[in-house]
Structures are given as C-alpha cells and as structure tokens.
Amino acid sequence: MEKWSLMTITVLLGLIVRWTVSFGSYSGAGKPPMYGDYEAQRHWQEVTYNLPIKQWYFNTSDNNLQYWGLDYPPLTAYHSLLCAYVAKLINPDWIALHTSRGYESQPHKLFMRATVLIADLLVYIPAVILYCCYLKETSTKKKIASALCILLYPGLILIDYGHFHLGFALWGVLFLSYNWDLLGSLAFCLAVNYKQMELYHSLPFFCYLLGKCCQKGLTGKGLVLLIKIAFTVVASFAICWLPFCTEVEQILQVLRRLFPIDRGLFEDKVANIWCSLSVLIKIKNVMSPQTQLKLSFAFTFLTLLPACIKLTLQPSLRRFKFALVSCALSFFLFSFQVHEKSILLVSIPVCLMINEIPLMCTWFLLVSTFSMLPALILDGLLLDYVVTTLAFLTVCATSFSIFEKTSEEDLQLKSLSLSIRAYIPSFKAFPKIIKSLFIVSVTLMGILTSMSATLNPPQKLPDLFPVSVSVVSCLHFLFFLMYFNAIVLWDSRNGRNQKKIN
C-alpha cells in the first residue's frame, strides 16, 4: 500500500484514540472548590480575555493568583487568549469574569477537547509524521510503525491539555536534522516561551549548536553562525515578551511566577530522587531551602555535564538526540519543583529513537506512563490507562519484534560491552540480563497497577501505593539515566558512519 494512505490511516488512528480518551473523565471533574487542570485552562482564558496584559501575572482583586494563577510563559497566555476569543463567539458564559468559576457542561467540555485536538493536529502530529517520513535508512514499514507507536504513546494521550511546547521542540529537532539551524533555534525558543520546562532541553540544543559552530571554526563561518543563532534567540524572546518589556517589575513578576523557588523541593508524589529519598530521610526537615536549592542544582549539573561536554566536542545528530534524553532525565530526577507530568519532556525525545532501540524505548515509555499512575487514578482515567498501555505494548511488540532484537548491537551497547570485556573477558550477558529485567519490570508494573486499582491501602500508610509507584519508577529512571549516558559517552561513531539499521 502506498505510503501516504498508510500514514493517513496512522494519523486517523491516533486521532480516534485521542478523541475517545478525551471523552472520559477529566482532571478535577466535579471537585469543587479547586477542581483541576481543566479548570485551570478555563480560568486562564477568563483572565487573559477580561483583564489587561499588565495584570495577568499580578495578584489583584480581579486576579487571585492563588486560584490557578498563570504560571507559564507569555505564549501560553496568548494561546489562552485566542481560545477565549473563540469561546466568546460560542458562549460568553464560559469566560465571564468571576462568575464562570467551576463552569462544567457538556458543550464546554467539547469545546476544550476540540481546542486540544486542533492544537495537536496543527503542531504535534505534522511534526511526528514529517519526522518519521524523513528518517534516513529505514524501510517504509519501519517508518509507518514508528509513526504509529509515537502517536499511540499513552502518556501524551492521557494528559488532557495541549502539547504545543512538545510540538515546537519536535519541529526544532526536525529542522536541526536538516541543518536549518536558525529555524531550529527559533522553534525551540517558541517552545521555551510556551512552557518553561522546555529549559530541560536547552542544554543539549545549546551544546550541539555550539559544537557545530566550533567545528566550523570559531574565527570564520562558525562565528557568523553563532552570531546569527544568538540574534534569532534574542529576537524571538523579545517578540514574545514585548508587552512585558515596558517595566522591569513586569518581567521580574513573570519570572517569579515561572520559577516558584519558595515552593520547596517537591510537591506531591513524583518519581524523583528527592521524593524517593524522603522515604528514608526527611530532606525537607534536615536542610534549609537554600541548601536544598544548591544541592539539587549541584546534582543536576553533575549528572548532565559528561554528556553535554561530549556533545560539544563531537557534535552529531545522533548524540544530540541521546543527549536530549539524558539531560532531560537528569533534570527530572534531580531538579527543583518537578511536576510528574514533566516526564513527557523525556518521553518525546525517547520516542524519536524508537526505530533504533525499540526494546529500550518501549520499556522507557511504559515506565513513564506508569509513573503517572497515581495522578491518572485520581482523574478517573484508570481504564483508559490500561487499554492504551496494552494497545501500545502490542503495537510496539509486533511492529518492531522487540523480543527478538536484543543483541548487543541492537541495544547500542557494543562499544560499552567491548570495554567491559577488556576487564572481564567472559562478559556476554547484556542481552539476557536486559530481556529478563524487562519482563520482571513489566510484571511488577502490572502487579502494582492492579493493586493500586483494587486494594485499599492500610491505615497506617495511606500513601503506600503512590509512593511505591514513585520509588519503582525512580529506580527505573536511574537505570535509564545510566543507560543513555553510557550510549552517549561510549559512542564512537560519527553521523556518516552509521551502519544500516533495519
């Protein structure tokens, strides 16, 4: 069958799954007084439409920042404003100042879902399709399979708000893979201006582009490129922040909202090192907030420096993609105020490599969805989670035959195992270890899911299940951190010399 018809079918399947899931429950449905993320989105439309720009990020009588105040950069606000204009055309009650708090109705749900779907359709899905269509050295079957698996990734489907930032970041990677550096930087800047968590990806972008400039020679073409990129970045930031540039206080207030340093090391149960460590040591009680901040900074940068340095010295597209994963994962594990949904920032770069290391990527994507289980159960999405995860696993397992392809080369660990064999000559166990670990891990996740769904936790430990989910996921993420760093650091191949991977 022709490629375009298969791609159309893939896109339609992705859309159908998204649309049917979005008609399940949503976060905070029917839960006054604060409701959930859905209400937050609606509230932002209300605030941006009714109040002047100067007041969006400030605590005023009309704008109570405690009730879902804006804490994302300006592009999110502009997007909410656009949606608000459309909402006004359909039903002004949805965004009436003050009176529309907690507004819940079927047409409104339809409207919100439609905006999310359209946003995905315009930005995220084309990026995925173009990326898969232009994968080098892969058969058509693998391209379609990659697109299908990426579009069926449960994590993104189950989270009910727009993913513009991930879409823009994907466009950035796509442009960079064609050496259109300026467009790539522009796309990434837009992504950062949409959600500040995209800064997790900023170091790899920076190091890769810096490395490229260095390669071209810092005195000639490289310098020109560097200046052009710098100019693009500054210009895009300036345009996005233009309405706020009139007063320094405006900019500072926005920054304060974006980076709430006084909120503490972590909130709720996240699959993060700090949260998992707090099972053993109550870090919050032991150290002062300043020390916590410094400690998390230190650990984050320690873990991501090796990959970034290697990327700067020897930039290649492949290393860049792996570095995206490892840096984002370092940030997720060690950084400040990490939200559990930030794992998506790691998952999307992992999706990009699904045709190179299918087993590990599928494994990671399963774990990342599993780590969000407590939040999903709270939002009433358990059944959707089970169905989409099973579907995803089946599709990946059959399209990429992950259980057969577990040789060292397939796992990209050849260089590492060669080095290990220099010390331990009989070390050949990588494939078997990894396969058995995978099966154990999936079984464990299945058991924990069914336990969380059916059993009630004991009285003394009311948070038993969310905490165990977080700890298990955290251990997995540490393992993956080591794995991805190993690939980057031991990878001696250049972009040109890649063997044909099919």
Nearer to another protein, 378 or 387 (CB): 387
Pair of tokens at residue 249: 């206080």
Nearer to another protein, 8 or 407 (CB): 8
- Residue 198: left if φ>0, alpha if ψ -120 to 50, beta else—which one? alpha
From 272, 335, 388, 417, residue interacting with another protein (rule: CB under 8 A): 388
Shortest approach of another protein to residue 431 CB, angstroms?
A: 24
Shortest approach of another protein to residue 392 CB, angstroms?
A: 11
Q: Is residue 387 a contact residue for another protein (CB under 8 A)?
A: yes
Nearer to another protein, 81 or 121 (CB): 121
Shortest approach of another protein to residue 458 CB, angstroms?
A: 26
* Helix or strand (DSSP H, E) at 13: helix 3-22
SS3 annotation, 476-489: HHHHHHHHHHHHHH
C-beta of residue 27 within 8 angstroms of C-beta of residue 141: no
From 92, 107, 217, 260, residue interacting with another protein (rule: CB under 8 A): 107
Shortest approach of another protein to residue 121 CB, angstroms?
A: 11
Pair of tokens at residue 187: 């796309």
Shortest approach of another protein to residue 113 CB, angstroms?
A: 8
Q: What is the C-alpha separation between 424 and 177, in angstroms, rounded? A: 38
Q: Is residue 501 a contact residue for another protein (CB under 8 A)?
A: no
Candidates 9-17, 161-169, 227-235, 469-477; binding stretch for another protein (CB under 8 A): 9-17
The total number of residues shown for the chain amounts to 502
Residue found by looking up tokens 């340093």 in the block: 261
Q: Is residue 391 a contact residue for another protein (CB under 8 A)?
A: yes
Nearer to another protein, 22 or 470 (CB): 22
Angle, CA 127 vertex, CA 159 and CA 412 arms, to 5°: 85
Shortest approach of another protein to residue 150 CB, angstroms?
A: 18
Q: Is residue 404 a contact residue for another protein (CB under 8 A)?
A: no
DSSP string, 167-219: HHHHHHHHHHHTT-HHHHHHHHHHHHHH-GGGGGGHHHHHHHHHHHHHHT-TT
Angle, CA 480 vertex, CA 475 and CA 483 arms, to 5°: 135
* Helix or strand (DSSP H, E) at 382: helix 382-400
Q: Is residue 479 a contact residue for another protein (CB under 8 A)?
A: no
Q: What is the C-alpha separation between 327 and 318, in angstroms, rounded? A: 14
The whole-angstrom distance between residue 239's C-alpha and the CA centroid of its chain comes to: 25
From 230, 390, 440, 482, residue interacting with another protein (rule: CB under 8 A): 390
Candidates 10-18, 257-265, 420-428, 471-479; binding stretch for another protein (CB under 8 A): 10-18
C-beta of residue 11 within 8 angstroms of C-beta of residue 49: no
Candidates 198-206, 232-240, 283-291, 381-389; binding stretch for another protein (CB under 8 A): 381-389
SS3 annotation, 271-292: CCHHHHHCCCCCHHHHCCHHHH
* Helix or strand (DSSP H, E) at 432: helix 430-454
Q: Is residue 21 a contact residue for another protein (CB under 8 A)?
A: yes
Q: Is residue 15 a contact residue for another protein (CB under 8 A)?
A: yes
Shortest approach of another protein to residue 72 CB, angstroms?
A: 28
Shortest approach of another protein to residue 117 CB, angstroms?
A: 8
Residues that bind another protein (CB under 8 A): 1-2, 5-6, 8-9, 12-13, 15-17, 19-21, 23-25, 106-107, 110, 113, 141, 383-384, 387-388, 390-391, 394, 398
